[in-house]
């Protein structure tokens, strides 16, 4: 199983001249997940990041619709964030100097025995707990 970072979902909806290639790659990844070709999970935190980012860029109407689509996404397991995950995230902030949200995503991976995260976020490369798989390698 691979963990899917929020930027994969965001790129698929919000694309600019600089991110058109990333949007195409993100859509291809999401199609493979929907078809069951990639076993995938993400945290409930991802919903927040996706809806917030889309709302900021495209407005609340589109964000609301995309939030629904996210929750109904086929073959995507949504993982809970609990005290154990947040405690591990705190340690990752201290040890690997990850940003808090990145640390939550990594901690969620570790707590669910997931060792790979599909993401365009190079900040995740600082983690010794998971291997980041770029959009072009997923």
- Judge whether 74 lies within some domain: yes
Range of the domain at 108: 2-133
Q: List, for residues 24-52, the tens digit of each pLDDT value.
A: 999 999 999 999 999 999 999 999 999 99
Structural domain total, the chain: 1
Kindly state the average pLDDT of the residues 59-72.
97
- Judge whether 65 lies within some domain: yes
- Judge whether 15 lies within some domain: yes
Q: List, for residues 94-125, the tens digit of each pLDDT value.
A: 999 999 999 999 999 999 999 999 999 999 99
Task: Give this prediction's pTM.
Answer: 0.95
- Judge whether 12 lies within some domain: yes
What CATH number corresponds to the domain at position 64? 3.40.50.1010
Query: What is the rounded CA–CA span in Å between residue 108 and residue 52?
Result: 20
- Judge whether 73 lies within some domain: yes
């Amino acid at each position: 199983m691979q963990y899917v970072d929020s930027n994969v979902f965001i790129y698929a909806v919000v694309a600019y001249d600089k991110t058109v290639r990333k949007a195409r790659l993100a859509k291809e990844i999401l199609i493979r997940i929907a078809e069951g070709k990639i076993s995938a999970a993400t945290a409930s935190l991802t919903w927040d990041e996706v809806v917030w980012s889309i709302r900021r860029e495209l407005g609340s109407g589109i964000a609301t619709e995309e939030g629904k689509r996210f929750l109904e996404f086929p073959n995507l397991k949504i993982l809970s964030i609990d005290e154990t995950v947040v405690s591990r995230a705190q340690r990752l902030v201290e040890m690997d100097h990850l940003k808090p949200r990145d640390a939550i995503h990594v901690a969620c991976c570790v707590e669910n025995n997931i060792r790979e995260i599909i993401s365009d976020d190079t900040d995740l490369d600082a983690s010794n707990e998971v291997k980041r798989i770029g959009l072009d390698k997923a």
